[in-house]
Amino acid sequence: MTTTTAQPTVTPTALTSVVPIVPGFHPDPSICRVGDDYYLANSSFEYAPGVPLWHSRDLLTWTLVGNILDRPDQFLAGHASPYGGVYAPTLRHHDGRFWLITTDVSAGRPGQLVVSAEDPSGPWTAPMFLEGLQGIDPDLAWDADGTCYVTFCSNGPEGPGIAQARVDLEAGTVLETPRRLWSGTGLAHPEAPHLYRRGEYWYLIIAEGGTERGHSVSVARADRPEGPYAGAPANPVLSHRSTTHPVQNTGHADLVENADGSWSVVYLGVRPRGATPMFHVNGRETFLAGIDWVDGWPVVDEGRYLRPVPDTSYTDAFDADELHPRWASPGAGLSEIAEARPGGGLRLRRGDGPRADFGFLTARTLDPAWRFEADLGVSRGSGALLLRLDDTHWCEVRADAGQVSAVVRIGPLEATLGTTATLTGSSVTLRAEALGPTTGGPDDVRLSAVVDGKEHELTRFDGRYLSTEVAGGFTGRVVGLRTLDGTVDVAEVRYTALPTDQAV
């Protein structure tokens, strides 16, 4: 399978610090540096392949290298329901090897999942599970003598909060009963720990306050990895709660030391829009800031890194040997549902397994305003272009039974909205757009189709109904394709980032 991708460009807009370095549903960033190369991993929840992996030389422009959990023995597509699957990872490089630790909450066995690789492009090993560490958000850190510590958000017998234990990664064993560490300033849900050695101190970074508007970053330090830890006098060191800042829910931070000795931090945030309480639709995204060390404590400099708004547009004719790593599915392995066609394009079919109905070929939406369209051949079946947040919050344009229609699902309610169009031949272009709001939501979702060269608007509705504030959960919108019956041929898809003024 192949991919033709437009080269990324940037628009001549003013530099800004509120543009994510990795836009769209890419939460829980973890970063490491090897020489002049930076690598960043994100959580992926129910979507397979799992854990997107990015590379950069300047911290500002990132290229999607692949997905770390890209085989069934690492993460089984379709076994995780919405908000299950792969939670926050930690990516580290130690003794010439890359290590990734994360939690697959739907794996059916307890413990933290660990894989490793000599080359970040893979192959990554089959997973081992560190059993006895009950919880999420695991971190890896090594002492000077090679002792490895896993620090995590516990839901085990040691009690809630941040816990830690020494482990043997070669043997895949936990060497001691986990102990509780410092668990924040008293805010809700202390989580997302990362541990670092700098100078004479060990620093423990955590998130607290919940991953919604109260999200924040706090820090403590100790003389040794086991503690005891004392909190910074200026905690939280990063939070946008109760402000009008355009980026909210800031938290889940990971520090990195740069080659010149300076420090930076990646963290997640959202870009809510619309009327109160405001709504975010593209999920939690990855942002970047600088770090200054003042009196032995990290101080976040949000204005250090400025960048123009990038053009995230792409065209995919599926004419390369493999699918681009942007594509993922919440319900089936990609090889189950997508087959390369000679000369280019894809043939889509329904998947098997317990979540076959959700075997979609999807990619994350990346911008406040965008257009996604697909050229389909439906002579052998029927298909749809869909915009999805979860199993019960989605919409799609269907080419089925000689007509094109728009279907919207919000919770238990599913209905055909707007008008329909007659499908006169075996090919059609289906389209979804996120445009400026007309009713106080974050945007309007517009669904349409082009039949015999003529565009038919089918429906337009308030995008808040496909927002996290309505649906809940931890993911963001994805857009893609599925087969309703038989097989469907995909000649080309086009994702276009629209001007920012179309999103306000």
In terms of DSSP bridges, do strands 179-180 and 161-168 run parallel, antiparallel, or are they unpaired? antiparallel
Contact 263, 290 (CB under 8 A): yes
**For residues 277 and 287, is the Cβ–Cβ distance under 8 A?**
no
Identified catalytic residue from 70, 158, 191, 336: 191
Q: From residue 2, how far is each of 53, 333, 345 by CA, in Å?
A: 19, 17, 8
DSSP string, 288-317: EEEEEEETTEEEEETTS--BPPEE--EEE-
Which residues, in sequence order, are bridge partners of residue 422?
A: 403
Of the candidates 28, 46, 373, 443, the residue annotated as catalytic is: 28
Q: Which of 427, 435, 428, 406 is nearest to 496 (CA)?
A: 435
CA–CA distance from 193 to each of 136, 431, 474 (Å)? 10, 42, 18
Are the beta carbons of 10 and 310 closer than 8 angstroms? yes
Taking residue 153's Cβ as centre, other Cβ atoms within 10 Å add up to 25
**373 is annotated as an active-site residue:** no
DSSP three-state, residue 61: coil
Which of 421, 440, 11 shows the shortest CA–CA distance to 431? 421
Domains by residue range for the chain, with CATH? 25-301 (2.115.10.20), 310-503 (2.60.120.200)
Q: Which residues contact 422 (CB under 8 A, 6 or more apart)?
A: 402, 403, 404, 451
Closest CA to 47 of 410, 332, 278: 332
CB 187 within 8 A of CB 214: yes
Q: How many CB atoms lie within 10 A of CB 88?
A: 29
Tokens encoding 281: 């639709």
Let me know: does 182 contact 194? Beta carbons within 8 Å.
Answer: no
Tens of pLDDT along the chain (504 residues)? 333 333 333 333 457 778 999 999 999 999 999 999 999 999 999 999 999 999 999 999 999 999 999 999 999 999 998 889 999 999 999 999 999 999 999 988 778 999 999 999 999 999 999 999 999 999 999 999 999 999 999 998 888 899 999 999 999 999 999 999 999 999 999 999 999 999 999 999 999 999 999 999 999 999 999 999 999 999 999 999 999 999 999 999 999 999 999 999 999 999 999 999 999 999 999 999 999 999 999 999 999 999 888 999 999 999 998 999 999 999 999 999 999 998 899 999 998 878 888 889 999 999 999 999 999 999 999 999 999 999 999 999 999 989 999 999 999 999 999 999 999 899 999 999 999 999 999 999 999 999 999 999 999 999 999 999 999 999 999 999 999 999 999 999 999 999 976 665
What Rg value do the Cα atoms of the chain yield, rounded?
Answer: 23
Helices and strands in the chain, H and E counts: 2, 37
CB 193 within 8 A of CB 139: yes
CA dist., res. 80 & res. 319, Å (int): 30
How far apart, in whole angstroms, are the C-alpha atoms of residue 475 and residue 268?
12
375 is catalytic: no
Q: Which 3 state secondary structure label does DSSP give 225?
A: coil
d(CA 456, CA 237): 51
